[in-house]
Amino acid sequence: MSARAWLSAAALALCSAGALADAGHLVRDDAGQQVSVPASPQHIADAWYAHHALLMTLGAGDRIAATVNHEAGQPWMFLVQPSLRQALSVPGNAFGAESLLAAKVDLAFVSTGDRNAQAYQQAGIAVVHVGFKDIPGLQHTLLLTAQALGSDSARQRAQAYNAYLDKALAEVSTRTASLTAQQRPRVLHIASLNPLKVDGDGTLIDDWIKLVGGRNAADGLHGNLQTVSAEQLLGWQPDVLILAANAGNLADSPASALLGELDAVQHGRVLRNPAGVFPWDRYGTEIALQLPWAAQQLHPELFKDVDLNALTIDFYRRFFDYPLSTAQAARIIGGLLPQ
């Protein structure tokens, strides 16, 4: 079954999920497990950093009772969803089962492969595994999350977001369709400068680089956050460097002298990625904004009419229920912290 067909079937399934609401309901999570979840979970533990953005998109951010995120690391998230400041917070991504019970947690989301899931299950908490590596996977996980939440509002918001993202994908694809291979710059996405880590194929980052008319310069590298040497970057010689918002500065890197030899650095083709509720370049719903931003950066002549500031303000109003100001939108787009 194609990804689009799967999403359509999942959307139909969501529409009928309300029939099970009174007695709770079953969902099949991203680990392939069938999980019985409460009819309307009110106190949620979220052990995957990126998944908070999905819950917020579905209007359920105020139900997060236990979080692995921190205001120092995700200040925009806590500004937009201030109730997180009252949530149980832990270092790392492992909660104590007793502390979750004390917080009245009735549903936990964990990343696929999380070894702590069993302890939560043994404490009687419903556990849903979530995880994805590409944009269709994000859309699938959003629908799954809405199904677990069990409300018509969450289902409607999931469908509205997926339609919004489909439109953004179609817009970018239409404008870049005629680009030749030579017109698609080789892009290297740097997640961290110290230590030096980049993102290879089989990742959401690789997905959006290709979708916006680029090529991933990390030839032969697989997965997220892979440690590499500065010499490897010189061998790749990317056309464009995109630094994650929190990657650090080239001048402060221990390998700054070698990195300074890159053509992209010498010709000023180094970009700082936006970051808001979650870094746009990684696994949150702001990927819908990452697409037009990255496309405009790589192909400004094709996307000169796109107003990123206006798009960001509209997105935050529509999906985060937050009245972002023009100045705040500009800081998010610039990868800057709130003032």
The model's pLDDT over 130-139, given as tens digits with 9 standing for 90+, comes to 999 999 999 9
- Residue ranges of alpha helices (H) inside 69-113 are 75-80, 97-102
Whether residue 49 sits in one domain with residue 180 = no
Are 287 and 321 members of one domain? yes
Whether 156 and 187 share a structural domain = no
**Which of 32, 13, 77, 44 lies closest to 337, judged by CA?**
77
Q: What is the pLDDT of residue 193?
A: 97
Confirm whether 184 is domain-assigned: yes
* Residue 6 confidence (pLDDT) above 80: no
Give me the pLDDT at residue 86, please.
Answer: 98
Tell me the CA distances in angstroms from 261 to 235, 243, 250, one per residue in order. Answer: 11, 17, 12
| pLDDT tops 70 at residue 2 | no
Residues 31 and 102 in one domain: yes
- Top pLDDT among 264 and 16 is at 264
Residue 117 has pLDDT above 80, yes or no: yes
Q: Under 8 Å CB-to-CB from 24, ≥6 apart: which residues?
A: 36, 37, 38, 39
Q: Are residues 29 and 74 in the same domain?
A: yes
pLDDT tens digits along 291-305: 999 999 999 999 999
**What is the reported pLDDT for 24?**
87
Same domain, 87 and 180: no
Q: pLDDT tens digits, residue range 63-114? A: 999 999 999 999 999 999 999 999 999 999 999 999 999 999 999 999 999 9
Mean pLDDT of 258-268: 96
Task: Flag whether pLDDT at 11 surpasses 50.
Answer: no
List Cα–Cα distances, 188 to 143, 209, 280, 309, in angstroms.
31, 9, 16, 25
- 18 and 155 co-located in one domain: yes
Q: Please determine, for residue 18, whether its predicted confidence score (pLDDT) is greater than 50.
A: no
Q: What is the pLDDT of residues 153-201, one digit of tens each?
A: 999 999 999 999 999 999 999 999 999 999 999 999 999 999 999 999 9
* Whether residues 210 and 154 fall in one domain: no
Q: What are the tens digits of pLDDT across the range 70-80?
A: 999 999 999 99
What would the two tokens of residue 207 be? 């997905």
Mean pLDDT of 246-251: 95
206 in the same domain as 136: no
- Are both 190 and 55 inside the same structural domain? no
**Torsion (CA) 245, 168, 202, 209 in degrees, nearest 10:** -60
Q: Percentage of the chain surpassing pLDDT 70?
A: 93
Q: Same structural domain for residues 227 and 250?
A: yes
pLDDT at 15 over 70: no
Q: What is the dihedral of CA 87, 92, 94, 96, to 10 degrees?
A: -60
Confidence of residue 4 (pLDDT cuts 50, 70, 90): low
> Is residue 115's pLDDT more than 90?
yes
Q: Is residue 339 part of a domain?
A: no
pLDDT at 148 over 90: yes
Indicate whether 1 pLDDT > 50.
no
Q: Kindly state whether residue 119 falls inside one of the protein's structural domains.
A: yes
pLDDT at 65: 98
Tell me which residue range forms the domain holding 253: 175-333
Distance CA 54, CA 317 (A): 15
How many whole angstroms separate alpha carbon 153 and alpha carbon 169?
Answer: 24
**pTM across the whole model:** 0.92
Predicted pLDDT at 23: 59
DSSP state letter for 82? G
Q: How many CB atoms lie within 10 A of CB 207?
A: 20
